[in-house]
Amino acid sequence: MADSSAQPTAKYRSDYKAPDYTIESVALEFDLDPSATKVIAVSTVVRQTNDITDLVLDGEKLELLSIKVNQQTHDAYQVSEGQLVISELPARFELEVVTRVNPKENKAFEGLYQSGDAFCTQCEAEGFRRITYFLDRPDVLATYSTKIIADKAQYPFLLSNGNKIDQGELAGGKHWVSWQDPFPKPSYLFALVAGDFDLLEDSFVTQSGRTIALELFVDKGNLDRTEHAMASLKAAMRWDEARFGLEYDLDIYMIVAVDFFNMGAMENKGLNVFNSKYVLANKQSATDNDFLGIEAVIGHEYFHNWTGNRITCRDWFQLSLKEGLTVFRDQEFSSDLGSRAVNRIKNVRILRSHQFAEDAGPMAHPIRPDKVIEMNNFYTLTVYEKGSEVIRMLHTLLGEEGFQAGMKTYVERHDGQAVTCDDFVNAMQDASGKDLSLFKRWYSQSGTPVLKVQSEYNEAKQQYSLTIHQHTPATAEQSEKQALHIPVSVELLSSNGEALALNSNGQAVSSVLELTQQQQTWHFEGISEQPTLVMLQEFSAPVKLDMEYSTDQLLLIINHASNTFARWDGMQKLVSAWMKQAVEQVQAGNNLQLEEAIINTFKLLLEDTSIDKGLLAELLTISGENEIADGFAQVDIDAIAQARDFFIYSLAVALPEQFAALEQACAKADKQSLAHDDINLRSLRAACLQYVAHTQPELVAAAYFDSPTMTNKLAAMSAANNAGIQQRDAMFKDYEQNWQHDGLVMDKWFALEASYAKEGSLARVKALAEHPSFSMENPNRVRSLIGSFANNNARHFHAKDGSGYRYLTDILCVLNTQNPQVASRLITPLIQTVKLDDERKALIIEQLQRLAELEDLSKDLFEKVTNGLQQLKA
């Protein structure tokens, strides 16, 4: 490892200090050139203190050409790595900084870079410092005007934030366009795009009668894949007005889709830059999940206009202020437009399979972290998904009316400001009158709480007593935990499945119990028989349960719980209990057996014509190996895989007629529309195909070759992939021949190939890295192939010879300098391994040491490698 004095150092939330200077306005001029773009930044700078101090500006990968103060050359400055320090300054002045950057060689895709033939920017979190020297922090809010100069033939579209105010022609075939954003914003929200695109135009009339121009830019030839994205944008604008009363504020809203992008999308004010994955879709090239994902991400970035842009973060430790809240808003958007139950189930699957693992891993952190080395490392499931669950708990505690009152107070109080998570909770508290001081601990405490549940029924008193004890296990950097304010939604079921009234002290009580102490007991009266307890309806808190259920109790919940999520969760508990026993049997060398009670449960579900098709699809979808592994103190990769395979195969051979009949019925009833009833039919068909593949593989092949839609083709390919049927190769070859010209569509193929669990998996992945459609420079390709292998092919990634670990580390060594941000996300399955056996841990430590010894180890990887080694060696 490099000299320790050169190692990155941590920043702490507690050290926050307001800037000595602020920037009121900035005028930017870009003369675009692929290898030598000139940037002129003229800022109005104002000192915030009475003391005369140096102005310290952030800058990376910049060539400084000149500095002027009040239009005079200024020599009192020093340039060091990452900083420009300017001395001898008045209290208020105009600062001109001229820099040159090389977009063509910027493979990190931060700051100004090239995506194909177009220019593009990505400035969140700290990318603006790669454009010019600046106070690159979110609490410096300035108004921006931007002039862009470029060759007109190559770059006919010149885009930036705000409203277009002027344009003109220049000598030599160049032209220019000027933009002005009237709303103060931090530098991370700046955007510039220049290129030649296809354009989809539309408009939206706001609730106050203003007409907003909508423009969607895509690469040439992709216009036929833009209609859904535009429809999603208009739906999001309508929804935000109807549900939250928030109206768009500029005259134009633009979206640009680019192929080379580290994230999903970026909410830059008035000019959203999107990964093409979340814009381009038609039935031939995209699945239903793609369409739904586009709807959600389009909504997410639009909703940021108020929860992120108009009100932004004081510092990056407050990231969940905008992201947790906006994820909650996009989840509600998707639920209001589609199936609330299915959306909730899918969101919880992500938490249980990935976020809970993050909470238990070396990078565990609260949704508002206390320290950070590289901010990009905290764009995490904890900040986003758990952050959303914290907002959802507030909604559960306050109700829709109370929550909306809090939102109104928040917007009125903080519009145009950079604020904190505490400011948001205080607005909720003040508007509702509910004491949320204890609730704030969710922002500062890491880890997943565990609720131990005990109950007692007194037949003589007809009283049911429920005791809940909360405990949050120690995490990597937080050993002491406090009691949290946890909303626990419950239901009591009678033996025939009827919901029992909840009464205490002679009065009806809410089904949402508020757990605020380490242990609390509730007494319910008038309970005429021993009830079955349904816990965490709608998953009312991001916690784990320590509670014993009998098979009969779970079957009662699956069939009769009033909450749809609770029914699905009952099935998860039933399957999880079997999996734990099965793993023990595998480890003992015994044969596995699937009980008739479980088979009959699935049989009844398959034959129930009244059940919601989307819910049934989720009930038939068995949790992945990562989610199953979360239930074990020590993970046996091979035993879990064997148990899961056996479970699916046993159901398939026990109920072949039922699965095939339902699959065929779904195919016949599907009208091939994007209506949610048809989406649910296709989801159910896909779930059935996973079983049908084991008994009637010809139906899987037919589902692929006879269908014109990508949804059905991918469903068939997934089933063939998981079952390893003979027809798989023909399907995959046909797909490759048809789509190898389109990298975005090939990502689905790469992901399935990388997840194929049969022998030779790693060799296949290595060969595919040489495929003409693959590029190590494209983050989407890397995630689809390398990421899918590491995350979704556990039995081969965790091979006992360590080959999977070595291969991922080889890739990380390349990406460490090429694109550290992508490398940092890719390393996750290599460090979230604390539950593995000692032999595998030793192999992982060996690879992490390889990375630690790199002379040029990036900040992004340094933080994760260091924390990973510390936890594994503990």
Handedness of CA 547, 553, 556, 562 (dihedral sign): negative
* Sheet with 532-535: strands ordered across: 512-515, 486-493, 532-535
Phi, psi of 37 (to 5 degrees): -85, 130
Phi, psi of 660 (to 5 degrees): -65, -40
Residue 239, by phi and psi: left (phi above 0), alpha (psi -120 to 50) or beta?
Answer: alpha
* Sheet with 174-185: strands ordered across: 72-73, 63-69, 92-101, 37-47, 21-31, 142-151, 174-185, 163-169
Report the amino acid identity of residue 136.
D
3-state secondary structure of 322: helix
Determine the Cα–Cα distance for residues 639 and 649; give it in Å rounded to an integer.
15
CB-side neighbour CA atoms (13 Å) of 354: 17
In 10 A of CB 469, how many CB atoms?
A: 16
Residue 465, by phi and psi: left (phi above 0), alpha (psi -120 to 50) or beta?
Answer: beta
Q: Is 607 a catalytic residue?
A: no
Pairing of strands 486-493, 512-515: antiparallel
* Burial of 124 (C-beta count, 10 Å sphere; 0-12/13-18/19+): buried
* Burial of 522 (C-beta count, 10 Å sphere; 0-12/13-18/19+): middle
Pairing of strands 142-151, 21-31: parallel
| Residue appearing with tokens 């105010």 | 165
- C-alpha distances (whole Å) from 264 to each of 218, 274, 296, 820 are 15, 6, 11, 17
Q: Which parts of 245-372 fold into alpha helices (H)? A: 288-303, 319-337, 340-350, 356-360
Q: 295, 301, 358, 374: which is the annotated catalytic residue?
A: 301
Determine the Cα–Cα distance for residues 190 and 180; give it in Å rounded to an integer.
11
- Strand positions, DSSP E, 544-676: 544-546
Contact 347, 334 (CB under 8 A): no
Take residue 731 and report the two structure tokens written for it.
């399907």
3-state secondary structure of 593: coil
Q: Alpha carbon 432 to chain centroid distance? A: 30
Contact 658, 603 (CB under 8 A): yes
Determine the Cα–Cα distance for residues 774 and 804; give it in Å rounded to an integer.
19
Which residue from 548, 526, 528, 544 is spatially nearest to 536, judged by alpha carbons? Answer: 544
Contact 70, 91 (CB under 8 A): no
Handedness of CA 251, 272, 310, 126 (dihedral sign): negative
CA angle centred on 53, ends 47 and 56, rounded to 5°:
85
Contact 564, 611 (CB under 8 A): no
| Residue appearing with tokens 């990298």 | 743
CA angle centred on 277, ends 181 and 187, rounded to 5°:
25
3-state secondary structure of 155: coil
3-state secondary structure of 201: strand
Contact 143, 25 (CB under 8 A): yes
Contacts of 550 (CB under 8 A, 6+ apart): none
CA angle centred on 59, ends 53 and 64, rounded to 5°:
95
User: What residues are labeled active site?
Assistant: 301
